[in-house]
Chain A
Amino acid sequence: MQSDGGATCMEIEKLASEVNHASLEPRPRFAPLKAHEISDGQIQFRKINVPQHRYTPLKKAWMEIYTPIMDQMGIDIRMNPKARKVELKTRPDTPDASNLQKCADFVSAFMMGFEPKDAVALLRMDELYVDTFEIKDVKTLHGEHLSRAIGRLSGKGGKTRIAIENATKTRIVIADTKIHMLGSFANIKIARSSLCSLILGSPAGKASFSNGLLLLLLLLLRQTATIAALTNESLKGVKQSGTSLLCAT
């Protein structure tokens, strides 16, 4: 509307300028719209359900959740104990329109089971995602087989899961039959494939599992390098390694 108006004004202005040069006004420069204004001054809400098993952890970790959201994101957050929901609300001085969504993701990530300090990465980085899949999506297992599969996934004392987390720079939460992964897209992919192989039965021994994992990582590295080279980002080290890799292949 305004643009049209602007256009028309500009046309008129142009014509007018041709008529009288002296009485021109500078183009108006408008400040970017605030989040608030984008939504037409309406306050937006998000409500995230709190599962029972996360109730107490929420209570414990409330400040860790509360502080970044309130201070850095500029989103109001409150806990509705009666409804057992965490409510998020935008403020007029919320810096970015997407903050609310990010905060909502952050809180839901926490509800999935991730640690607050891991989930905070969602607030800080854009490209991190949370992916969920179930064991039954991969392979239909019942009873003991299922239990064993879950055991295989987590490993003794969680070491297999931790190994995957460290290798792929992701965070994994195994909630019974659901598996949640938090990380960048490619890393999640690798983690998912390794987890799937574990579900399908590959023993999490040293050689087979780690080899596969590392191979995938190497693949990922190459891919990222090529992508970086192609996109000409200013990642000097990666660029060099990427080109060398390209020459080698």
Chain B
Amino acid sequence: MAATTDSGGVAALHRLKSTDPPLYLSPSPDLSHSARLACQHIFASLRPFTPKSPFDRLLADGFDSEQIWQQIDLQSQPLISTLRCEVKFFEKHPEEISKLFLKVSVGKKEGKDGKSEELEGLELDGEKDEGFDELEDGDEGLEGSDDVDDEEEERENEEESDGGGVDGVEDRFLKIRELEEYLEDDEAREYGIKKKEKGDGKVAKESIKEDDDDEDEEDGEDDDGDEEGEEDDDELGVLGLVDGDDEEGGDARYEDFFGGKKKTGSQQKKTRHDSSAGDKQSGDMDFDDKKKENRSTHEKQLEKQRLKIEEMEKANMEVKTWTMQGEVTAAKRPKNSALEVDLDFEHNVRPAPVITEEVTASLEELIQKRILEGRFDDVFRAPTLPNKAPKERKELDENKSNKGLAEVYADEYAQKTGLVSSALTFSDEQKKEASVLFKKLCLKLDALSHFHFTPKPVIEDMTIQANVPALAMEEIAPLAVSDAAMLAPEEVFAGKGDVKEEAELTQAERKRRRANKKRKYKDEYHACDRSFDESSGLNQ
């Protein structure tokens, strides 16, 4: 059965190989069938090497291409990791190859078993590769993954595998201890770090692996279970990182990393040429990436900081942006740059109110209410306080007098001579006195009773102030002693400097004077008229 299937599979492979490439473009059931057969054949042939694979055979009939591929992938992934590991080991220990060949020739079966066990032991998880383009075989297209990665996974596998695992993993070919020593040597060689005990080394590796996990841009197709296992280890690694790295990183210097760039680069290249060289071997990028792979967390942090510091120092040396330059005029900054910057300054004016419908409605309401009430908040000129006694204005009688002129004169004469007792006018002496007394009394009563009492303004009677030195008035002393005149200079002459006589004025100045006089007069006139109107209005 196996032989027939094998032969069938082989035949299918041959068939596939022989078909022209253009024929693949159009779907044909024949090709599909033969492809499935071929896959199954290869799968079965690889099955012995993957003891952990869940599939005994490839389930291809009635399955989707994606499903088939997933099965293949499940088988091939661990296989590839195993193979890579072996290759590296052989790199390190070429003599083993000869041993292997001998053994193989001697006891093929035994070797096969060992190999299978070895493979089992070295089952690796979670390749972080870019998309494999391999269809069937787990070719040795080893991408840029780390030595450390694999070795760490090895560790995990060691832990995961049960009691029998230890025995199963180690054999004369692979020694875990040797592996560890190798790793430490490698690190010591790269970083100049002292050889550490197993524990620290493990911690460091784990932490480095964690960093790799974090730093890696490409998300690999990790299995969930594997990820969890990794995370646990990573945490341990982080916790232990601080203790470990302080001792380890002390001797690491800038020169170790970037001292003589070319020199170290070449050195790195030499040491790393055995490592997976996939597609990243060309250029300096290659070198940088490899370096990054092997650094500790702390080193990476330092690197980050250094870069940042460099950047900042560079920025400091350069000319600052205009926003940081303090007082900047429009000429010193690029055109329209102030529009792009979010400026913050104090607005001393209240922002204009947003006119919404509610605002308008409220205003209109207010206006209507006020109109109905008649309360307009008009501003009235404050009446000036009188500082002179009000002139007794004699009202001009505009009615034609009935008396003849003779009678008028006769009456006047009679009044003057006192022949006729004139009608009692208000200016009678006793009445005057009485009214003065009453006014004083009223003033006092008002002061007592009014809440808002304002006393009447003091109206000074006219007195004449002679412009004579004060001393002359007060003392009998020679006039030359004191200069203090009674009148202040403003009282002697009040006016602005340029005083012109009537004759000196120009026509324009004359007009201006007249206009000023008229304006002043008009203001007085209209003020008292307006106040009269107001009072009358109020009464109405």
Contact = CB atoms under 8 A, between A and B. Distances in A.
A159 B398 contact: yes
A97 interface: no
Interface residues of B, number: 21
B397 interface: yes
Given A207-B525, A235-B417, A236-B418, A169 B397 contact: no
Nearest to B415: A237
B394 interface: yes
B404 A162 contact: no
A213 B406 contact: no
B336 interface: no
Nearest to B400: A162
A163 B409 contact: no
Most buried by A among B398, B400, B525: B398
A125 B401 contact: no
Interface string B401-436: 100111111101001111000000000000000000
A115 interface: yes
A9 interface: no
B397 A166 contact: yes
A171 interface: yes
Given A120-B404, A162-B399, A214 B394 contact: yes
A161 to B, nearest CB: 9
Contacts of B445: none
B396 interface: yes
A119 B404 CA distance: 8
Contacts of B412: 169
Contacts of A165: 400-401
Nearest to B462: A248
Contacts of B405: 117-121, 128, 169-171, 182-183
Interface string B484-527: 00000000000000000000000000000000000000000100
B396 A163 contact: yes
A167 B408 CA distance: 11
B404 A121 contact: yes
A139 interface: no
Interface string A85-111: 000000000000000000000000000
B409 A169 contact: yes
A124 B401 contact: no
Contact of A210 (B396, B404, B417): B396
Given A169-B412, A234-B417, A236-B418, A163 B398 contact: yes
A171 B399 CA distance: 13
Contact of A166 (B401, B409, B418): B401
A236 B416 CA distance: 7
Interface in A159-212: 159, 162-163, 165-167, 169-171, 182-184, 207, 210
A115 B405 CA distance: 9
Interface in B445-461: none
B406 A120 contact: yes
A123 B409 CA distance: 12
Contacts of A167: 394, 396-397
Q: Which of B405, B412, B525 has the most CB of A within 10 A?
A: B405
26 contacts: A117-B405, A118-B406, A120-B405, A123-B406, A124-B406, A124-B410, A125-B406, A159-B398, A162-B397, A162-B401, A163-B396, A163-B397, A165-B400, A166-B399, A166-B401, A169-B405, A169-B412, A182-B405, A183-B405, A207-B525, A210-B396, A214-B394, A234-B417, A236-B417, A237-B415, A238-B416
* Interchain residue pairs A-B with the least CB separation, the first 10: A117-B404, A121-B406, A159-B398, A121-B405, A118-B405, A163-B396, A166-B397, A235-B416, A210-B396, A124-B406
Given A162-B399, A171-B405, A210-B394, 13 more contacts: A118-B404, A120-B405, A120-B406, A124-B409, A159-B398, A162-B397, A163-B397, A166-B398, A167-B394, A169-B405, A213-B396, A214-B393, A234-B417
